[in-house]
Amino acid sequence: MNRLLGLISFLLVLAGSVSAKVVLPAIFSDNMVLQQNAQVNLWGKATPGERISVKASWADKAVAAKTNADGKWTVKLKTPTATKGQTVTVSGENTIVINNVLIGEVWLCTGQSNMEYPVSKHPDKKWMTGMTTEAEEMKDADYSEYRLFRVEHQLAPDGEKDDCQGRWLVCTPENLYDFSAVGFVFGRRLHKELGVPVGMIQSTWGGTHAESWTKMSVMKNNPLYADVLEDFALKNVKQEKGYCKVPSTLWNGMIHPILGYTIRGNIWYQGESNAIRYEKYQQVFTNMINSWRKEWKQPDMPFYFMQIAPHKGQPAGIREAQLKTWQSGLKNVGMAVVTDAADSTDIHPRNKRVAGERMALWALAKQYDKNVAYSGPLFKSMKVSGGKAVLSFEYAGDGLMTPENAPVKGFLVAGADRRFYPAEAVIKGAQLEVSASQVAVPVAVRYGFCNFFRVNLYNKAGLPAVPFRTDTWEQGSYARWFADSEMMRFPQAYQLDHGKRLFFGYAQGVGCCAMLQMWKATGERRYYDYVKQWADSLINEKGEIHLYDMSTYNLDFINSGKVLFDLYRETGDRRYKSAMDILIKQLKNQPRTLEGGFWHKLIYQHQMWLDGLYMASPFMAQYGAEFNKPEWVDEAVKQFRLCHKHTYDAKTGLYHHAWDESKSQRWANPETGHSPNFWGRSIGWWFMALVDALDFVPENHPGRADMIGYIRGLAETLPKYQDKAGLWYQVIDQPKRKGNFPEASVTTQCMYAYAKAVNKGYIDAKYRAVAEKALQGLKDKLLIEKQDGTLTLTRCCQVGGLGGHPYRDGSFEYYIGEKMRDNDSKATGPFIMGCLELEK
């Protein structure tokens, strides 16, 4: 029996050895390019213990190797100076001849979508719109001694792969259409300048993190990567399109299979997907570079990369992290800049020729000793003289310039107060004098230090200046930054919410309440004066309010009355009290439901809206508390109780936008009177109304416990609907429904309400994390720093309601179809107040 088993084992081994022919990985194929003047690696698999012979046509002798126990073998071939028409013959059990081999320069081109972006428009992928110069490139794309290899997409979350799919192709228009545009232009420039064969190896995947391209041993047990290793672990990635974000999966599947293929260097275009964690990117990127060099056994491998182009969704921090990587002292590292080839709305700028050409300049200058300029002006030092900041630059030896001698754009200057103002910049040879009338003594200068910007400073070689800042200030207060941004774009408070006329509007009231909170938090009178000037332009000596019409019984008018308490307390001016009394008179006569709930407006008969609770109830409660009118505190609490009774949905824990007592509106459920959907901002109004009104409801009031209960219920419910980034959606309970989207006002309102409720002790301190997550989501997704240094809040719903003309039916389609705009005070006011609460 033992002999039989032994014979069977022998026959199996013999059969395996017969079938295990010599196999080469895909990277070694006809048309390949090998690095000149080098000891290049060549490897493959065969039967364990088999002797392999490799004969290069340029060599006198073959090189031999013996396979190891895994059947793997490796040899080194010494390559000559650039040449063409070569072959490599690999012999073992079988023989493989690699034909049409070139000896020349070999480069990798790697990264995410901007490196993957092809020369030609892709018929199926909308983002691959093709180069702006596609037609011209195709006319200059026929090069027999320029070769292209594209590593096909391959995920490998479970471990390193030994091979990939791909083949070497001769550069022709037919073979070029889906190759990296940046990589193609880079290689073509080298081929033309050097006059030698060039091979480009593309390994790219759009939407990927640097961590996807990093070896796992670099990241494991390193706190720097803890969040990514957890958030993007395969088990936590819910959609297939996110599998490429799994840490190490692309190192394993798309770099390891070509690891060791001898190259001159690598060009890299990535960072967009790391922008959300830009503060970590310098170290993450540096670790990746060092690990690639170590694994390739090329410790000084050139690594040139493209700085992320200006874009509305790409913060200055990611470009600064890339700049710091360049300036960190790493050898053979350089950064190209494309500030003049950007698109504010398209993360994939189509002018890829300039990107490829500028990275080629780095290689030509540094690796091939060509006398070419390779970097634009780089900030070197600053001194202050005569109220001006005098800046000096590297890479500006022949002087600075702007196209057509236009005025220099893109500079900001700040004094000791850290407030930045648009600056005048004057070229003085290779220096720049920067100043602003508002800054007597400059302390800091910034250039292109925001998400998207238009700048125009170059050196005489025509290369753009690198964006920079001279300070290292952290943005200490987002509340101050945004409040100041609002005052810069809306010099008069009536302009808040994009107002075109003097008006006592509820949205202006929200913004002015935020400015008064800024005054109280900072002691800076300018915030108070901003609000007072608006109020004084609207209220006459009798306390009458410009354009106010009591007969409409519109609760929206009441909201702006909240600013009058501070003005009256500060000045004692009776007209402010008279104006408040007029608003209270409206509420005394406000039409009501049968149970006493306020109609939202006279034209919205029998209807209670969540919006109305914010507009009127905090004002009533404060009026009652400040003027010893407890009946108005009672009235405010009564409105909360009635609204909760008729709009609360026990199944979801949310609140319907409105309730129609008559059940006659087309939008109303004929049985319950509810509106059909949970509009995010209406719930935000309700949440804010509760936390604000409670400031004036006595501890012993019988309704106080109910209001705190409503707050706690929402606090427990809303995290279920908060997305991974920290945002809430326009229709709050359907974040994954097609067409729905994260919306700014619901997110800022909930952020504020959570933060204030925690600070007041209404809810557990653990809920502060919900507000902080919302703030981070706003920073990452919806906030944009503009070229003038201001902050802009995007994706704000302009208006939302029910009924009216044209009729608003409260459907999902209605809500997602409402217009969006930037810097709507219904979102910006709560953002400022929420930041102030989080800064306490």
Query: Is the sign of the CA dihedral 275, 277, 279, 284 positive or negative?
Result: negative
In a 10 Å sphere around its CB, with 0-12 CB exposed, 13-18 middle and 19+ buried, how is residue 383 labelled? exposed
Residues ≥6 apart with Cβ < 8 Å to 806: none
Round to whole Å and give the CA distance between 226 and 222: 7
Instruction: Tell me the CA distances in angstroms from 609 to 718, 750, 810, one per residue in order.
Output: 19, 18, 12
Ordered DSSP codes for 623-684: HHHHTT-HHHHHHHHHHHHHHHHHHEETTTTEE-SEEETT--STTS-TTT-B-SS-BHHHHH
CA geometry: angle at 730 spanning 728 and 735, to 5°? 60
Structure tokens of 32?
């390949």
Q: What value does the CA radius of gyration of the chain take, rounded to a whole number of Å?
A: 33
C-alpha dihedral over 353, 354, 357, 361, to 10 degrees? -170
Alpha-carbon distances of 79 from 32, 100, 190, 195, rounded to whole Å: 13, 15, 19, 17
Token reading at 594: 């049968």
Contact 723, 729 (CB under 8 A): yes
What CA–CA distances, in Å, run from 381 to 310, 389, 445?
24, 10, 11
Q: Which of 484, 611, 660, 733 is catalytic?
A: 611
d(CA 759, CA 737): 34
Q: What angle is formed at CA 323 by the lines to CA 321 and CA 328, rounded to 5 degrees? A: 90
Token pair 């990296």 is at which residue? 180
* Contact indicator for 735, 741 with CB cutoff of 8 Å: no
Q: Is 394 left (phi over 0), alpha (psi -120 to 50) or beta?
A: beta
Q: Dihedral through CA 517, CA 523, CA 524, CA 525, nearest 10?
A: 80
Please list the residues that pair with 433 across neighbouring strands. Answer: 390, 426
Nearest alpha-carbon partner for 119 in 200, 31, 29, 32: 200
Q: Tell me if 146 sits within 8 A of 188, measured CB to CB.
A: yes
Which residue, chain included where needed, has tokens 């004094």?
A: 415
Q: Is 611 a catalytic residue?
A: yes
Amino acid at 11: L
Report which of 422, 485, 414, 488 is spatially closest to residue 455, judged by C-alpha positions. 422
Question: What's the DSSP call for residue 251?
Answer: I
Residue type, 779: K
- What's the rounded Cα separation, in Å, for the pair 375 and 378? 8
Question: Across-strand partners of 432?
Answer: 391, 427
Whole-angstrom distance, CA of residue 693 vs CA of residue 764: 19
Alpha helices in 399-451 (DSSP H): none
Q: Measuring CA to CA, which residue among 123, 116, 99 is closest to residue 203?
A: 116
What backbone torsions phi and psi does residue 316 show, to the nearest 5 degrees? Answer: -60, -30
* Active-site annotation, residues: 611
